[in-house]
A and B are shown apart, each in its own frame.
Chain A
Amino acid sequence: MKTNLFYRRVAVIGAGLTLFKRRIVETPREMSWVAARKALDEAGLELKDIDCVVIGSAPDAFDGVHMKGEYLAHGSGGVRKMVSRVFVGGATGVMVPISAWYHVASGLCQSVLAVAEEKMSPARPHPQSVFRYIWDPITEKPLNPNLIWIFAMEMHRYMYVNKVKKEDIALVSVKNKRNAINNPYAQAPANITVDDVLKSEVLVWPVNLLDVSPVSDGAAAMVITSEDIARRYTDTPVWIEGVGWTLDNTEWTGRELAYPRYLEHAARMAYKMAGIERPNKELDVIEPYDPFDYKELHHIEGLMVAKRGEAVKMLKEGVFDMDGDIPSSPSGGLLGVGNPIAAAGLMKAISIYWQLKGTAGKMQVKKPVHTGLAQAWGDLMQASTVVVMRN
């Protein structure tokens, strides 16, 4: 049963991406413009047709510019317009279409340009260094941790509780990098084997190099409009039918690592709005957030597409393959396309939009699709954002 009758209908009518790659020549502003221009072109709109601009970007420190939303506004078409920036860490990319959605669903705006950008390459020696700020300065920082440590512990806990083997998790990396071969924007497409993953360099046990997405620069943009505008510009609008977002306990030590409860809450919100009762039967194609290979499985369980601990079984049965029942990360995901934080999340939403529009080209999944979902995750590993779309 649908419950969102009091919202105005919201459609996606255009999207654009830059290449995802390392050390891109363009400035962050120029990257934003490239993606935004492509999205306007696909929609058939000009900047003058846009009422407001939503910008998503992760910490300022990545681009090395403070107040990055203001900085990016110029390349995002925000000059002399209503501009807002959303930021929920890694979950930002899907928060961008969610924010654009409430600008339109509330009746405030008719057409929104939604832009996400991240340039990870300016911070040296490695963008990881900017994450040094996120730890508790007294109890955690003295260990000099980095993010991969924490993910390694989460992965280990997930493997232990659900009796999952590392070679099974590696199948996600194999699948996503293979899917990325069909994606013209991808940074790390490859035909690899489980053995390649297991034999790649150990970064922080049990995380190996090929379990992780690469460091990237990139931008993504979407044009999101009211039903009125959508009907005027396209015969094939894609509707945003459900949105959800949740923040769990901000102390990572205060959570059960084996199961992403933050996501279950966000997903329930989006499903209720979209009238989805059985996600494993009603979702045709999904883009769960996969900065690490185990994270895709973790998130598939949080999305309630698989029961707890059973995502691996479905993966091995081929359910999540391009020709499976519920193709997962047909874009190639972060593992295959790259991980410019906020832009990567919006790229996942764009992938679903193109799948539902039928314009995903070589990325198009085999089965006919009607309902799709994109998800991102981040902040102190406890925030999740979900968007459900239909054609």
Chain B
Amino acid sequence: MKILVCISHVPDTTSKINFTNGDSEFDTNGVQFVINPNDEFGLTRAIWFQEQQGANVTVINVGGPDTEPTLRKALAIGANEAIRINAKPTDGFFVAKQLAEVIKQGQYDLVICGKESLDYNGGMVPGMIAGLLGYNFINSCIDLKVDGSSAKVIREIDGGKETSSASLPLVIGGQKGLVEEKDLRIPNMRGIMTARTKALTVLEPIDANNNTKAVKFEKPTPKSAVKLVSADNLDELVSLLHNEAKVI
């Protein structure tokens, strides 16, 4: 089985978010970048397939040279090879077009994406890849099993879960639950050393539209100070929630 895991290079979840250049660009100053957490669950699942059932795992990212440490980390975790498409990921459709092209050329059986990246939160790339290629697609996946050419997938739905089956090739949008958090891999020294010798191919992007663009960023307006209520006067809290906040 040939698996492609799409990796977003995103700010660490503890990052303070700031903007620069007249609030038109994300300020990367002092920001630590990581593998998008939703993608990390998918990568670990892919490595599990590699170890348990035999699979070749390629990781891919659309980004500049600065994203290579993130791909190297994925290689250190166990991916066999990496591809970087040398372009700034400015729009979900543009990214999906780039990835779809590689998938078409590489004939991947299973494409694992995170359901959304934690920077722009667009949540559109996995579905767009599937739409562009006419592949089967299942989003918000919390379990994935593959037997031969068919997959059984559990996805989260509002207020429950749903089990589906689909044949390969398949694109999934994965999330927490795809593997347990405790089973996420941390690169060990051997993995880091081996990763240095693994292939990281750089491809130039194909022509594709940008359908959207981020014009400007804003930070939420600072909140007024919390109103503290004494633990002995909870009637006041009930009254505030009813009369002032009007939520009960």
Q: Do A and B bind each other?
A: no
Residues of A that sit less than 8 Å from B by CB: none
